[in-house]
Each structure stands twice: as C-alpha cells, then as structure tokens.
Amino acid sequence: MKNEIVRKRLQQDRVTTYAKLCAEADKIEKRRLKLRDKIIKLMERGYVCPKSGPYLVLLTYQERHPVAWKEEWMELCKRVYGAKKRKQMLNLILDEAPLIKTPMLLPRVNPDYRIVERDKVVEMRGAA
C-alpha cells in the first residue's frame, strides 16, 4: 500500500475562523474603499487634513498606464517576434500609451501629535 494517499482533515475551527476572517476582511476593504473615495472627493474640492490628530493623510497622484492586456499581448509578441523584439515592442507601446493620474491616499503618523496624558505622566515622574 505504498501509493495509498492518507487524507488528513483540517480542524474545523481553523477553517471556520479563516472563513470568518475573509468575510470580515471583505467588509473592511469595501468600507475602506468607500471612505477613501469620499476623502479624495473632499480633498479635491479643497478640504485639508486636520493637523491635530494622531494620523494624517496625504493626497497624491500616481501615473499609470491603462494597459490591462499587457501579459497576453507580451506572450503573443514573444511567440511572433521573439524575446528581443518583444522588449522593443513593449517600450514602443508604453511610450505611446497615455498616462492616467490615479489618486492615492498615503496615511502616515503625525510627527507633531502630542499625547497629553503621556506628558502628564512624565511631568509627575519628574516632580517626584
């Protein structure tokens, strides 16, 4: 019985926990994207990020090529023209493709944020 496959079962609680976490992650991702779009729209209308909170967001733009079919095209080009010509063709296409500015929100910690409670504890320690 050398070739017999031993089937082991995963623990059900691990499978259930994983499935629940995936569902929660999907909900959080949808919520994050909705809030991201809302913040971007407001910032594009002139709203600015408050400077007093523990976190800041910076609105910036990233240029992207809207070439979704790149992988399929590259494979076809490689078969038809060969590997060297494929790279030349890619450079030609990317040079001609329009750049689309895609908004990005970059969260970061506010370096000027001060936690008042922590400062009080430090002051109390220094007074003793």
pTM of the predicted structure, to 2 decimals:
0.51
User: Rounded to an integer, what distance in angstroms lies between the CA atom of residue 54 and that of residue 115?
Assistant: 9
Segments making up each domain of the chain, as ranges: 10-48, 55-110
The mean predicted confidence, pLDDT, of the chain is: 78
Cβ–Cβ under 8 Å, residues 74 and 86: yes
Question: What pLDDT is stored for residue 66 in this prediction?
Answer: 64
What gap in Å lies between CA 24 and CA 3, rounded to an integer? 41
Binned at pLDDT 50, 70 and 90, residue 41 comes out as very high
Average pLDDT over residues 36-50: 93
